[in-house]
Amino acid sequence: MSVDQATVRRIAHLARVAVTEEEVPHLQGELNAILAFVEQLDEVDVSGVEPMTSVTPMVMKKRQDAVTDGGIADIIVGNAPMTEDHYFMVPKVVE
Amino acid sequence: MTDLTDLTLAEARDALKAKQASSTEITGAFLKAMEAARGLNAYVLETPEQALAMAKASDEKLARGQGGALEGLPLGIKDLYATKGVRTTAGSNILCNFVPAYESTVTSQLWRDGAVMLGKLNNDEFAMGSSNETSAFGPVSSPWRREGSNAALVPGGSSGGSSSAVAARLCLGATATDTGGSIRQPAAFTGTVGIKPTYGRCSRWGIVAFASSLDQAGPIARTVRDNAILLRSMAGHDPKDTTSVDIAVPDYEAAVGRSIKGMKIGIPKEYRVDGMPAEIEALWGKGAEWLKAAGAELVDVSLPHTKYALPAYYIVAPAEASSNLARYDGVRYGLRVPGKDIQEMYEKTRAAGFGKEVRRRIMIGAYVLSAGYYDAYYVKAQKIRTLIKRDFEEVYAQGVHAILTPATPSAAFGIGEKGGADPVEMYLNDVFTVTVNMAGLPGIAVPAGLSSEGLPLGLQLIGRPFDEETLFSVAEVIEQAAGRTRLPDAWW
């Protein structure tokens, strides 16, 4: 499988990465090189094989559903580019 | 006493215990060496004040006859590990101003045991790379150069700052991380030792995530023994990482020097790849002979799905990366580039904040996870991962204790030499290491000789799950037989 330029733009949008028109042909070439490389997997017969979900056999650990931390709003927003009253500020989303 | 920076970690530890040197002296010697080696670009942040304060506290403990297993020993920390109050960037512009309010579990265990932090080490951006050329801070140079040449060589990657700093004697040891070979390949390129422990052995909490089912923390240091000492402090169960395993951490150092007589060492025929340089093949054969001479039994084994590990990795790892890196959106931390609406803000922020390789990988990841392609790519790759793991299980079921392979398909290459036109050219560096991540196994790279150009070459040992001890025992036999690599004299 290979991707065309429209697909490159669509993937970039899915990944939320702005791309310029000049970048599209380069990306197309690079992505197609990677996709061509992974194509050799088609040689492998995987019928009846379970996909791996956990590399080490282990039971999912659980804990009490209880509050164990909190009251640190200053710290939580400490690295944010824009905040107000412990809220993260973003451009208006709903008109 | 010789130059304090020439000591191994174990020697420095013993010198501190015997009061032949103080941590302040050793730390001071490394800080001076770091200042003189800035041209290598191994450190992205030096923390001399913190280092000297920690060293002083250690000296006070040592004077009272107290102190932990790493008391007073100065280390470098890969910039993928969150360090409280100390800028942590993962080598990315998107985190250029990020100062964590918390400490990663692994580093907190190092400080618990008395280690001293010298600073933060360069790495490929988000650990995506095999040459440390994708870092937002620029490439790292290896202290090694080809005989008769001044051309700058890569120190491997992604833990290139770690491997360069250890080889250039800018720290006693360093933390590193390994998703597809990022500890073992840089160790092999620089004549140092690095171990990727079994998946689940070290907590991933507080380490910037790349591909969560593959990422694992581990050390790079100058000797097998130094690795054993460091891993004991780094490993252990952490309730904050549900994939960390609740089993006891052995005294790894006790395994160093243990006899390997009667052990079965597997030699996998699939690692004899097309176009493998003769000197790599010869090194591998020499390694096998050393182990045989030490009493091990060599057995030919087969890992039939080896060649599919790398292509499957380049589906699984980007898929997980695209999901992990979704958090960098310019809202909660990191870089923000304004846009006319939130959508444009996300897209501009991520275009400006991520470098080329990272953008490429998250796009591949988004593609293989997208509707209509998920089964053809992602599910298929996970099935192949099952087959890769099964290959190893079958070999270990035959009573094999460890598997010997080359660590890399070549010696270190020059900065700017690879991957310019075709990204796959760079990816092929990890052909021998990536199977280990796909199967969640432990693997160690140990120097075994020099190339015809005078550059270090390493061998890899792959172990059974949670049997890092055997790797330390076997690796030390290779280290002894090969003779300790003489690290390059300072030209920098």
Interface test with A, best of B244, B359, B391, B428 (most A CBs within 10 A): B359
CA distance A64 to chain B (A): 12
Residue spans of chain B under pLDDT 70: 1-2
In a domain, B27, yes or no: yes
In a domain, A93, yes or no: no
In a domain, A61, yes or no: no
By residue range, what is the domain housing residue B227?
11-262+410-431+443-482
Tally the domains of chain A. Answer: 1
- Kindly calculate the radius of gyration of chain A based on its CA atoms and give it in whole angstroms: 22
Residue B158 among the catalytic residues: yes
By residue range, what is the domain housing residue A35?
5-43
Q: What is the CATH number of the domain that holds B212?
A: 3.90.1300.10
Beta strands in chain A (DSSP E): 83-84, 87-88
What is the 3-state secondary structure of B445-457? EEEEEECCCCCEE
Q: Is B341 helix (H, G, I), strand (E, B) or coil?
A: coil
In a domain, A18, yes or no: yes
CA–CA distance from A8 to each of A23, B312, B359, B422 (Å)? 10, 21, 12, 17
Tally the domains of chain B. Answer: 1
Output the CA torsion B313→B315→B318→B319 (10° steps). -120
Residue B92 among the catalytic residues: no
In a domain, A11, yes or no: yes
In a domain, B387, yes or no: no
- Give me the residue from B245, B311, B386 closest to A56, CB to CB: B245
Tally of helices (H runs) and strands (E runs) in chain B: 15, 11
Q: Which two tokens stand for residue B369?
A: 């996870």
pLDDT per residue over B62-109, tens digit each? 999 999 999 999 999 999 999 999 999 999 999 999 999 999 999 999
Query: Catalytic: which of B92, B108, B130, B158?
Result: B158
In a domain, B235, yes or no: yes
In a domain, B219, yes or no: yes
User: Model ipTM?
Assistant: 0.95
Query: Catalytic: which of B58, B130, B131, B182?
Result: B182
In terms of pTM, does the model score above 0.95?
yes
CA distance A59 to chain B (A): 9
In a domain, B128, yes or no: yes
In a domain, B311, yes or no: no
Residues of B in contact with A90 (CB under 8 A): 331, 342, 345
Asked if residue B346 lies in contact with residue A14, where contact means CB atoms within 8 angstroms, the answer is no
pLDDT per residue over B281-302, tens digit each? 999 999 999 999 999 999 999 9
Q: What are phi and psi of B97, to 5 degrees?
A: -120, 20
Q: Which two tokens stand for residue B466?
A: 């949670």
Residues of A in contact with B196 (CB under 8 A): none
pLDDT per residue over A8-44, tens digit each? 999 999 999 999 999 999 999 999 999 999 999 999 9
In a domain, A83, yes or no: no
pLDDT at site B244: 95
Contact A49/B330, CB-based, under 8 Å? Answer: no
* Burial per residue of B321-344, b for 16 or more beta-carbon CB atoms within 10 angstroms, e otherwise: bbbbbeebbbbebbbbbebeeeee
pLDDT at residue A51 greater than cutoff 60: yes
- Residue B81: closest CA among B68, B56, B98: B98
CA distance B160 to chain A (A): 24
Residue A21: strand pairing partners:
none
Q: d(Cα B452, Cα B435) in Å, to the nearest integer?
A: 28
pLDDT at site B2: 66
pLDDT at residue A1 greater than cutoff 60: yes
